[in-house]
Structure 1
Amino acid sequence: MRDPYDVLGVARSAAAAEIKKAYRKLAKTWHPDQKPDDPTAKERFAEIGAAYELLSDETKRGQFDRGEIDAEGKPRFQGFAGPGAGAAGGRGQRFDYEFTPGGPFGGTRTRGAGADSDMFEEILSAFGGRRPRASAGFGGGEPPRGEDLQAEVTVPFRDWARGAKQRMRLPNGKELEVAIPAGIEPGKAIRLKGQGMPSGFGGPAGDALITVMVGADPQFTAEGKDIRVEVPITLYEAVLGAKVRVPTLDGAVEMKVPPGSDGGRTLRLRGKGVAAKDGFGDLLVALRIALPKGGDPRLTEYAEAMKANAPYEPRR
């Protein structure tokens, strides 16, 4: 490695605060996520970290200034003093950079003897997101993963209620089929591992986060894992009771309407709702009384007689 003073651009007489300030500025500038198109960024970033590690440790800095160790922390040859000669005792410990998911650029946690850990956390937390772990080529471990992709898919209501596969195109141009869990909460995201952007540093690809929205249906609406549908019935079916055909997600079925059913009454068909993980919901059937189109003179005559001879108050 080059002379650590040259790497950080400080004089040999620089105080610890000046060295820290120089490191802070350079680390932010040369973080690989800040320079994704610069192939030298990861090596430069690692070199800056190693230089700061040496100069921030008063013991190592003194040994380097006296010529006892080199820029990499290795003891310099000083005659045949026997095994263990040299205060450094071997290669200096390197920083261990660990990148974890977070903000726009990734954040870095640094471990290692002599490292100013709090300062590293403060500087590189601004890069929240992927945290490249020190590696061969990047300090000794795994390279950073690629960026996650955000996408949205709108699923037809009936496919959502029963679960289905939806074909879609991601922002990176990739086409794939997404398995939509039955009854997934609208607005919730599905994570597809490895379907995001490639790393650019040889690491794993990011993930695709697919937000699921639900399309409207002309007949059905959702109420949790239950489904509501409105069914029109005649006046005489409401009064006398009847068996009527009711639409469901799996086709029409017969349902019994009890005598004397009011308009707006809701009947329940068990197990005809959303196919949720914890069991099927129900179908809620709201009755709506429909009068004859164009009217009926006999119905009008009967209504007039009822009004005069047997009135009642439904709004009481």
Structure 2
Amino acid sequence: MSNNPYDLLGVKSTATDKEIKAAYRKLAKELHPDLNPGDAKAEERFKAISGAYAILGDKEQRARFDRGEIDETGKEKPEQQYYRNYAGAGPETHYYTSDAFGDFGDESDLFSELFRRARSKESARGRGFKGPIRGQDVHYQLKVDFLDAARGAKKRITMPDGSTLDVSVPAGIRDGQSIRLKGKGSTGFNNGPNGDAYVKIEISPHRLYRREGRDILIDLPISLDEAVLGAKISVPTIHGKVNMAIPAGASSGQTLRLKGKGIAAGKSGTDGDQLVRIKVVLPKKIDPELKEFMEKWRSENAYSVRQELEGAL
């Protein structure tokens, strides 16, 4: 039989979550080792369908499998980005995880009782169950500064037991994206592999920068004389300050581009740019000389800047 988890559970790739759960429940009732003592084939099939349900019964894992990011055993495919492997994949075999039993909650159901026993390591030992059990996955949330997310950084998470977990935040990671730390979840049982740790990134907003795709956006205030006469000024970017030429006659809302000063694309793609939106700022106090000059200038050089608005009325 195919190792594809959909085939193992006997469902189509378009099956609903409810249909997948029902298919697994039916097969598990038939194949559970406690109901088939000494039946090696039933035990192997039980491991296989449990491994399949560990993927398809988890919305995130199912989506990743459908996208081709993980294989039928739940292992990371080598071409995926933003993931760091901390442990070897182990032998080529299927494992089932105690996570797969968490959504069968009918206390009067013998099936639920069997799964409660399988969840408990001590119970598994007492009943002589020898199959490998994959450790549970764990989930964390990590708040990251805007610049650390844009440029990449090393972060450390302190876990509930006081131990620490080092996380490499890749440059350009997006808000809400998760980093998978292979083998850093709960410990497996009976030589089963450890679960994985998933770290969801929450990016703090920055007072100057905003992000659109790989581009960085910033509003740049300039003075009246810089707008009229042009200037060369220092502009902050996520990579450090650079000099930029303001053209004479620059207007508020005009956008200038700093090529390649956005989010780095890494090995593939094109680096983002920094888009600088001009904002002309008048002095807080208009002195008499400037006022007199502008009054004379307006009388001789007045021009309309709202023609489009006037035509819309």
Q: Within the alignment, does 1:181 sit opposite 2:170 as a pair?
A: yes
Q: Secondary structure at the match of 2:129?
A: coil
- The alignment partner of 2:276 has SS state of strand
Q: Which residue of 2 aligns with 1:310?
A: 301
Correspondence 1:248 to 2:237: yes
Q: Do residues 106 (structure 1) and 97 (structure 2) align?
A: no
- Identity within the alignment, %: 42
Counterpart mapping for 1:141-290 below 5 A? 141=131, 143-171=132-160, 173-277=162-266, 278-290=269-281
Separation in 1, partners of 2:165, 2:183? 12
Structure 2: how far apart are the matches of 1:190 and 1:93?
37
Distance 1:180 1:105, change over 3 A: closer
| 2:34 aligned counterpart, secondary structure | helix
Q: Residue 166 of structure 1 aligns to a residue in which SS?
A: strand
Counterpart residue number, 1:298 = 289
* TM-score, reference length from structure 1: 0.60
The alpha carbon displacement at 1:171 in A equals 4.6
Residue of structure 2 aligned with 1:49, choices 31, 36, 57: 36
Contact 2:33 2:42 (8 Å CA) reproduced? no
Counterpart of 1:284 in structure 2: which amino acid?
L
* Separation of aligned partners in 2, 1:217 and 1:274: 15
Structure 1 pair 291–303 and aligned structure 2 pair: CA distance change class (3 A): same
- Letter of the 2:275 counterpart: L
Any residues of structure 2 matched to 1:113-128 within 5 Å, and which?
none
Distance 1:280 1:201 in 2: 47
**Which has a greater percent of helix?**
2
Rounded to whole Å, the distance in 2 between the matches of 1:276 and 1:170 is 32
In structure 2, stretches of 5+ residues that fail to align are 1-24, 59-97, 102-110, 120-126, 308-313
Rg bigger for which structure?
Answer: 1
Structure 2 contact 210–217 (Cα < 8 Å) conserved:
yes
**Superposed displacement of residue 305, structure 1:** 2.1
Q: 2:199 & 2:302 partners in 1: Cα distance?
A: 59
Deviation at 1:93, TM superposition (A): 5.2
> Taking structure 2 as the reference length, what is the TM-score of the superposition?
0.61
Deviation at 1:193, TM superposition (A): 0.6
Matched residues in 2 for 1:310 and 1:180: separation?
56
Which one has more relative contact order, counting CA pairs under 8 Å at least 6 apart? Answer: 2
Contact 2:156 2:164 in 1 (8 A): yes
**Contact kept? 2:176, 2:201, Cα under 8 Å:** yes
**Residues 231-286 of structure 1: CA distance to partner in whole angstroms, max 9, x if unpaired?**
11111111111111111122211101111111111100011111233232111111
